[in-house]
Amino acid sequence: MPNTTTPTPPDATVTHPEQLLSDVAKLPTLPGVYRYFDAQGQVLYVGKAINLKKRVSSYFQKNHSGTRIGQMVSKIVRLETTVVRSEAEALLLENNLIKTLNPKYNILFRDDKSYPYLKISVPIHPHDQFARVSYYRGAVDKQHHYFGPYPSAVAVKEAILLMQKVFRLRTCEESVFRNRTRPCLLYQIKRCSGPCVGYIVAADYAQGVTHAERFLQGDTQNVMTELEARMMSHADKLEFEQAAELRNQVAALSHVLHQQSVDNVLDRDVDILAVKVQGGRACVNLAMVRGGRHLGDRPYFPVQVQDSIGLDLDDDGTPVDTAERSVESQVLDAFVAQHYLHVPVPPILVVSAPVSMALLAALSVQLGVKVSAIHQPKEHRRIWLDMAQTNAQLQLARLLSEEGSQLARTRALCDALDLMPDDIDDLRIECFDISHTAGELTQASCVVFHHHTLQNKEYRRYNINDITPGDDYAAMRQVLLRRYSKLSEALQEAQRTGITPVGIGKMPHLVLVDGGKGQVTMAHDVFTQLGLDVSLIVGVEKGEGRRIGLEELVFADGRNKVYLGKDSAALMLIAQIRDEAHRFAITGMRAARAKVRMDGGQLEEIPGIGPKRRARLLQRFGGVRGVTLASVDDMVSVEGISHELAQTIYRALH
């Protein structure tokens, strides 16, 4: 029977709901993940435990007042748990939830950009005998061969250039490759062997592909030895032209190997992790070694470091912030746990601070690969780690410098517009812009400024329909209604019931619209209709001659227009946000326009319309819209379009 003793509150001044304490008392003694929520329904903290009952109870059974744990525990009003089968499953679920829920008191690495790969395509059809090397980003499959991941697109492109110089592999698209009648410029400059026009036989090309793959896997010395042996064989047969080609390959390969600051064939795949903590911020610099070659590095900057350190407890209630678990170690633990959930992990990690052995064991079980971490490395690994630590320090210094100027700009804006957020770091601005082409394909953009920077993951585009073409005011009305209607309803419901619904989003402290009095008046009407505060609305009106730096601010609450001055840090920030909204709107509109005019996607679905007929129709009528407006007789005038097919097209498009 589970122990049903009600835990005592950790501090006499903190009173937790009876339901919460009852839920804690009923927890099972099984591994799992727990989530704490505050009164507004926001997630405070996500943690894992081998024994849920023991771990969670320890937060409520001891006095943590005056500590970060005490600050967090005082805000907890609700608890959720999920039971799993093992610590490895708990690790996976915990870090997936951290990335999804963005809890306030967890160290969070927000960079979810996928890593690029070098892809060597495997011929699918029997007549495709020449593999292609290309840049690739996305999910990998078993059909083709992928090498990486690489830390950046530049690193992949350098590797592709190497494949061209040394092994002369093709990089052209299939459509280009199959339709060549003479060699391209890459053949002329000796970066392709010309398989498209039969200048190399399939067997020799396949051997080059094999050598390239072995080189990328780190088998460089054997590749060099084989190339040298083939070179000498051709020379013995007096085949000096072929020998010269192989000599050039050997020379290029040797040059690449000498360019590496460190080359050791024993370490094929290694990740080097260096962490620096300063000024409340941290940087984890990830350097990658693949196939024995150092490919470069990539910095990561976690958020909420100061609020998160020491919040996890051992099962006996001791905070995990003792000397053996330094801040650097806790940051590295968070990075390893979150980063390698969805990225291939090499067998060796070289680290600047100790990493939890339990974490490595759980990762090994979850991923099916034995993962070991080496702290205080020697020889070439020491050189790699020193390089990574230097880069981490430089990147962190750059970040702190940039954030200092960003904070100054945010503070200047708050002072200029009398904004008073509870926390200046939490200031949120949303900016709207409208874009269209002569009234067609109208799109509205919304960009978000938060935490002193633009948050591109929160950007949104809205397709505007059912308005008079070119009516920017109606477009602004539609986008504001769509953006804030549900939020307004939720806020009104919260006022009536006193309960804030979960997941409704946050109202910004400032709403910018790109435009003057007309757009501001429209925004004022929408906010009045929704019962929202019109003082949040500010229009950015272009100055004389539409010159940058002369913009004036128009207020929806009746205040006089304001000109902040062209050297104002506040105006520079507003202009940056406004310009980003304009860029985001116009790129979306252009993409939509290009799709309608060029790709002929609707035509592809019509039986009897192949690439040639589709191209002729698009060329004759200027795009899908033109084909839609054409009559059956107009379509019949296009080569290859019969009267029956024209009727089929007309019916499909109408």
Of 368, 335, 366, 334, give the one whose Cα is nearest residue 89.
366
Asked if 580 and 447 touch (Cβ cutoff 8 Å), the reply is: yes
Distances (CA, A) of 197 to 123, 184, 242, 620: 17, 10, 19, 33
pLDDT digits (tens, 9 = 90+) for 413-440: 888 888 888 788 889 999 999 988 777 7
Higher pLDDT, 328 or 493: 328
Asked if 60 and 24 touch (Cβ cutoff 8 Å), the reply is: yes
Is residue 183 predicted with pLDDT exceeding 80? yes
Of 461, 491, 492, give the one whose Cα is nearest residue 479.
461
Average pLDDT of the chain is 81
pLDDT of residue 218: 72
Poorest-pLDDT segment among 40-49, 308-317, 346-355, 502-511: 308-317
The Cα–Cα gap between 269 and 353 comes to 20
Cis, bond preceding 149 (omega within 30 deg of 0): yes
The CATH architecture that domain 424-498+505-594 belongs to is 2-Layer Sandwich (3.30)
Domain boundaries, the chain: 18-101, 116-259, 270-397, 424-498+505-594, 600-653
CATH code, 18-101: 3.40.1440.10
Sign of the CA dihedral with 211 first, then 214, 215, and 219 last: negative
Poorest-pLDDT segment among 17-31, 32-46, 255-269: 255-269
pLDDT digits (tens, 9 = 90+) for 439-487: 777 889 999 999 888 998 899 999 988 888 888 999 999 999 999 998 8
Q: Taking the C-alpha atoms of 565, 567, 572 and 573 in order, what is their torsion angle to the nearest 10 degrees?
A: -90
Give 113's pLDDT tier (boundaries 50, 70, 90).
low
Give 390's pLDDT tier (boundaries 50, 70, 90).
very high
Beta carbons within 8 Å of 317's beta carbon, 6+ residues apart = 58, 59, 61, 62
Angle CA 295–334–78, to nearest 5: 150
DSSP letters, 574-612, are HHHHHHHHHHHHHHHHHHHHHIIIII-HHHHTSTT--HH
Asked if 607 and 649 touch (Cβ cutoff 8 Å), the reply is: no
Domains 270-397 and 424-498+505-594 share a fold: yes
The CATH architecture that domain 600-653 belongs to is Orthogonal Bundle (1.10)
Distances (CA, A) of 522 to 476, 514, 519, 553: 7, 12, 5, 16
Q: By percentage, how much of the chain surpasses pLDDT 70? A: 85
The Cα–Cα gap between 296 and 259 comes to 13
pLDDT digits (tens, 9 = 90+) for 560-574: 888 888 778 888 899
pLDDT digits (tens, 9 = 90+) for 220-233: 767 777 777 777 87
Angle CA 134–207–261, to nearest 5: 60
Which single residue is written with the structure tokens 């492109």?
157
The CATH architecture that domain 270-397 belongs to is 2-Layer Sandwich (3.30)
Beta bridge partners of 296: 288
Tell me what the mean pLDDT of segment 207-218 comes to: 82
Is residue 513 predicted with pLDDT exceeding 90? yes
